[in-house]
Amino acid sequence: MRLSGIPLAVLLLMAGVSMFAIQDTIAKLLGEAGYHPLQIVWARYTCHLLIAAAVPFLHRGPVPWRSTRPKLQLGRSALIAMATVCAVTALKYLPLATAATIAMTAPLFVTLFAIPVLGEQVGWRRLTALGVGFGGVLLVLRPGIAEFDPMALVMLASAAISALYLTLTRITSRIDPHEVSFFFTAVVGSVASLPAMFFVFEVPANGWHLAMFLLIGCFGGLGHLLVIMAHRHGPAAVIAPFTYTQLMVAVFLGWLVYDRLPDAFTWAGAAVLVGSGLYVWRREWARARAERRRIPTSS
């Protein structure tokens, strides 16, 4: 039986975000091995660039560097590069499940940033859900007590910057093919981090480390590609909840690699965060459906 439509989109999305969890695990291992975050980021985007340069030509797609809004593409890509630097820096110190839970605040930030950037109207229900979601983040962060790790704030900054990137992606997706955005993301991250290699580059200590440097870009690039393919087969408003697969995979990898499971605060915060995120998704989905039918709905 051949899958198509929404079932295929869900599987592609789940595979894509699972690769992001694997990418984060590799970044954490390399960081713990002593490699500089900028070297890890450079390797991640350089391998991504090789994939991005090849993909359009494999299926006769558009020339990837031809954008109708190149400045917007450059700014958007610079944001995700900054977010990656923050994430790689924080991952060295945070448990995988904690980092993944904090990263899941990005959809909440997207809804928040859509108000000034896209001019969207957000009603009291979704604003309340956002407040509840950020309350869940406080359970994970635990500010003011001994277990609080300042690196959690760096991961939160990564999520906020990623959300701004995703907000701008909503604009670029309307004016440029996905292959163009995919290419710009890779080339900006690779080129921007390249000058730092003269100061921080360290030859991989062994074959295993070299393999991880190659794999981190492959998993990251293929993850982005699968997510793009998922959105071609199914609407974002329908498949969005399955992005939480990344959190579940991160928990599994944290147990597999580090023999560590989240503590009670992280479980509770994740539950609150996912619940509020699903509610926001439900409101977005209902709103989009009503707009398609031209039936007014409260937000």
Average pLDDT, the chain: 81
Pick from 150, 170, 167, 18: nearest CA to 86: 150
pLDDT of residue 206: 92
Measure the CA–CA gap between 240 and 107, rounded to whole angstroms. 9
pLDDT by residue (tens digit) across 2-42? Answer: 556 777 888 888 898 899 999 999 999 999 999 999 999 99
Per the CB < 8 A criterion, the answer to whether 65 and 71 are in contact is: no
Using one digit for the tens of pLDDT, what is the confidence trace for 51-71? 777 766 555 565 667 788 888
- Token digits of residue 141: 């962060």
Helices (H), the chain: 5-32, 37-58, 70-91, 96-103, 106-118, 124-141, 151-175, 178-193, 197-200, 207-233, 236-239, 245-258, 264-293
In this prediction, residues 236-251 reach a mean pLDDT of 78
Find the mean pLDDT for residues 91-119.
Answer: 82
The structure tokens listed for 258 are 């580090």
266 pLDDT tier (thresholds 50, 70, 90): confident
Q: What is the pTM of this model?
A: 0.81
Once rounded to an integer, what is the mean pLDDT over residues 246-257? 89
- 224 band by pLDDT with thresholds 50, 70 and 90: confident
Give the C-alpha separation, 109 to 190, whole Å. 26
Q: Is the four-CA dihedral 175, 180, 185, 187 of positive or negative sign?
A: negative
Q: For residues 208 and 268, which has the higher predicted lDDT (pLDDT)? A: 208
